[in-house]
Structure 1
Amino acid sequence: MRILFSSTPAHGHLLPQLPLARAFRDRGDEVAVLTSASFGPMLAAERIALLAAGPEAFELLAEAARRTGVDPAAEPTPEAAAEFFAGTRIDLTADAALDAARGFAPDLIVAEATDYVGPLVAAALDVPYAKLAFGPLIPAQFTDVFTSVAEQRYKERGLTVPGPAWYLDPCPELLQNPGWEPPQGRVPMRPEAHRGPDTPDAPATGAATGGGPRPKVLLSFGTHFTAPDVLRPIVDALAPTADLLVTLGLTGTAADFGDQGEHGDHLAFVGFTPLAELLDGIDLVVTHGGAGTTLGALSRGLPMVVVPQGADQFLQAAAVAGARAGLAVPPPVGPEAVVEAVTEVLKDTEYQDNARAVAAQIAAMPSPHEVADRLAAALA
């Protein structure tokens, strides 16, 4: 079979799709990803084809901000986010995406939850598509606006927005919103911490904690929200009491954080590294709340402190706090509040117990390989 994945051109949107893409690849299916050209090297290392279409994320964000006067990443109002995902991206990507997809001739399209190009291609080619969620269900106040904007673009091409044949859901029930009901066609799928092509498989639970005199804390704000003026105050506040492993995103360097003086021996900085390679020996994760980081850390039973910065991170923060698997520290509070939250989560074993309970639910979910087999059988 020929399976086409479609993604907004951002790591946080593409990486959660890789486990299922690998599963189809390992079955012997032909797999390709429809996204921007910058992801070519990453996908080549995975032995997965790239169908390059559309501008990069920074170009789409700039155009969406120009059209709305609002930065969709920093101020994710429903209208600004809809212009980015379902307006600007369709306008600047759809034609190239359709040309590329026609040549690939997919039997199934898998589109991440905020991707509206993949469903457009599915409608134009009359093939089924599966929606792959990130985490908790995105509130209707956003998705209704997304769909409304997408409908206008689809109508211009003589198409209607299709419903997904399957809703692939990596979110365990303990993290779902209050009053949550399973969407039609829901297929649970076990999430995992992102690993590179050479990263060994890791168990969903059972990561060893540091156990040293100082807690070992991973500070990771993903690839987009790693500005030193955001991270430096948190690093300075935590360094006196914890051993910190700080991720720098795609372009940051340790020099961005200046001289750490007496605390330098308790700090380590790493560039973009698969999350699965960073979690062993960690006692707690401090994060912006990207869905991949959140579910990846919780799949290993690690409690969290979530400091949301934008996008859908407030959803993950609320889910973690609601499950008592960690605490949320929303802005504009200062770094002292992050230190207080870290201290509380490390002191109270309830958070660790609840994080392990989430990990147990995740471990019981069907694996990506099992989901790939199920979808392939349904298509056959």
Structure 2
Amino acid sequence: MRILFSGVPAFGHLLPFAPLARAARAAGHDVALLTSGGMAPALAADLPGVPVLPAGPMPDVLFAEVGRRTGVADAAGEPDPRAVAEFFAGARVDLTADEALAAARDWAPDLMVCEATDFVGPLVAAVLGVPWHVLAVGPGVPPEFTAPMTALVTSRYADRGVTPTAPASYVDPVPAALQTPGFVPPARRLPVRAEAHQRPGSPAPADAVRAGRPRVLVTLGTVFTEGDLLAGIVGALDTEQVDVVATLGVMGLTAPETPGVTYRTFAPLAELLAGVDVVVCAGGSGTMLGALSRSIPLVVLPQGADQPLNAARAQAAGVAVVVSDPREAGAATRLVLTDPSYGAAAARLAGEIAAQPSPADVVATLTADRATAGAPAGR
């Protein structure tokens, strides 16, 4: 069967496809990814053998267009609902849909899996008449954001004479304790086991933890890593008491000389979590779910996008301390290390995550459903 994944051109939106894509390929299915061609080189190591069907511009072009249309200068750092809707459901659809339709029509998928903020893939699925599924990458987006996006993309469908189709399922890696209160999935929920991102064939990292000292990972993800912010967090940590590993982001910040701190360039989260006792992060969904899948509690300093929502849910679940200033990171980390309730809550969530169906199980369900419905002739 031919499975086409479709998502917004950003690591946090595309890397969650990796476990499903690997499972699909292992089961003998053909797999491709529909997104901006600019993501292809960066994803080559994470999705080996998965071709990228290039469609639409990269985020910098989209954000510039959003600013032109809305006057919001920083739609990522200041998630105004109108600007967010314009990014995902307006500008991206306008600048991507035609290329996406042409590429997908040529590739001829049997089914599609679209991440939850992708509005291009569902349009393609409707036009091609193939079933599609939603992949959640984090807690459900609140109505104040989904309503403007839905209204905007509805007009795009109408302009093209396309009748939208409902998703067949909602593939959800989020444990109940982290889910947005009152959230109702748009289709039947298929739970899937969350995993810390890892690359195929990556060797197990060496354990660099010094005996008797806790280890703290500081990572701000793939969007919000900024030198002064990272330095402020690292400077607040007591490197006489803890070992610190700090990531330099995908843009490769220059590592300063900081005693007691090991700096790492971008690497899969699974490699960074070995021996870690606390993760200090901005609250991206991938980091949050990956750390909790390993029973590791959090200190969260949200910066934008979905991070305030994720931080609030993690705090409510008892697995995180949320701070608003990097200078608070040291005290918050000490609290998480010394109060056993945070580790215990993280361990409970890790157990819940581990009990969910594997990506291979979910792929088997999706393809069995498609086979039952009847794939197009000749596939």
The reply to whether TM is greater than 0.5 is yes
| 1:254–1:269 contact (8 Å) kept in structure 2 | no
Alignment-mate amino acid for residue 372 of structure 1 = V
Distance 1:182 1:37 in 2: 30
CA drift of 1:239 comes to 4.6
The change in CA–CA distance for 1:267 and 1:12 in structure 2 (over 3 A counts) is same
Alignment CA distance shift 1:161-1:77 (3 Å): farther
Give matches, 1:2-41, under 5 Å: 2-41=2-41
Write out per-residue CA displacement over residues 247-295 of structure 1, whole angstroms, 9 at most, x where no aligned residue.
Answer: 111122334x4x43xxx1x111111100011111101000101101110
Cα pair distance change 1:139/1:278, threshold 3 Å: same
Q: Give a deviation string over 1:206-228, Cα, whole Å, max 9, x none.
A: xx995844321000101110110
Distance, in Å, in 2 between the alignment partners of 1:182 and 1:57 is 27
Matched, 1:317 2:316: no
What amino acid is the match of 2:219? S
- Counterpart in the other structure of 2:60: 58
Q: Which residue of the partner structure matches residue 293 of structure 1?
A: 287
State the one-letter code of the partner of 2:294. Answer: R
Q: How far apart in 2 are the matches of 1:349 and 1:193?
A: 23
Residue 229 of structure 1 corresponds to which residue in structure 2?
Answer: 228
What SS class does the counterpart of residue 254 from structure 1 fall into? coil
| Matched-pair contact (CA < 8 Å) for 1:7–1:14 | yes
Q: Which residue of 2 aligns with 1:346?
A: 337
Q: Partner letter of residue 266 of structure 2?
A: F
**Cα 1:211–1:181 shift into 2, 3 Å:** farther
Inter-partner Cα distance in structure 2 for 1:356 and 1:94 = 43
Match of 2:376 in 1: none
Q: Whole-Å Cα distance in 2 between the matches of residues 301 and 315 of structure 1? A: 20
* Change in 2 beyond 3 A, CA 1:96/1:182: closer
Structure 1 position 134, deviation (Å): 1.1
Give, in whole Å, the separation in 2 of the partners of 1:161 and 1:181.
19
Q: Distance in 2 between matches of 1:253 and 1:327?
A: 26
Aligned residue type for 2:15:
L
Aligned to 1:215: 214
Go from structure 1 to structure 2 and tell me whether the alpha carbon gap of 1:210 and 1:283 turns closer, same or farther (over 3 Å shift). farther
Which residue of structure 1 lines up, in the alignment, with residue 152 of structure 2? 149
Residue matched to 1:197: 200
Q: What residue is the counterpart of 1:360 in the other structure? A: 351
**Change beyond 3 A, Cα 1:324–1:54:** same
What is the Cα-based RMSD across aligned positions, in Å? 1.8
CA deviation map 1:60-81 (0-9, x unaligned): 1121122111121011111110
Q: Residue 68 of structure 1 corresponds to which residue in structure 2?
A: 70
Matched, 1:335 2:323: no
**How far does residue 121 in structure 1 lie from its aligned partner after superposition?**
0.2
Q: Percent identity?
A: 52
Q: Extract unaligned runs of 5+ from structure 2.
A: 372-379
2:2–2:31 CA contact under 8 A, matched in 1: yes
CA distance, structure 2, for counterparts of residue 346 and residue 310 of structure 1 = 26
User: 1:96, CA displacement in angstroms?
Assistant: 0.4
Q: Deviations over 1:141-163 (max 9, x none)?
A: 11111111111111111013332
Letter in 2 for 1:36: S
Task: Determine the C-alpha separation between the residues in 1 that align with 2:220 and 2:67.
Answer: 22
CA contact (8 A) 1:209 1:282 kept: no
Could you tell me which residue of structure 2 aligns to residue 205 of structure 1? none
Distance 2:204 2:166 in 1: 34
Give the gaps of 5 or more residues in structure 1. Answer: 203-207
Q: Which of 75, 82, 87 matches 2:85?
A: 82
Sort the Cα spacing of 1:214 and 1:37 in 2 relative to 1 into closer, same or farther, 3 A. Answer: same
2:378 aligned with 1:379: no
- The answer on 1:283 being equivalent to 2:285 is no
> Are the counterparts in 1 of residues 301 and 326 from structure 2 also a CA contact under 8 Å?
no
Residues of 1 paired with 2:204 and 2:20: CA distance? Answer: 14
Deviation at 1:181, TM superposition (A): 5.0
Of stretches 84-93 and 182-191 in structure 1, the one that deviates more from structure 2 is 182-191
1:138-185 CA-to-partner distances (Å, cap 9, x unmatched) read 111111111111111111110133321110000011212334555531
Structure 1 pair 156/200, CA: closer, same or farther in 2 (3 Å)? Answer: farther
In 1: Cα distance, 2:346 partner to 2:103 partner? 42
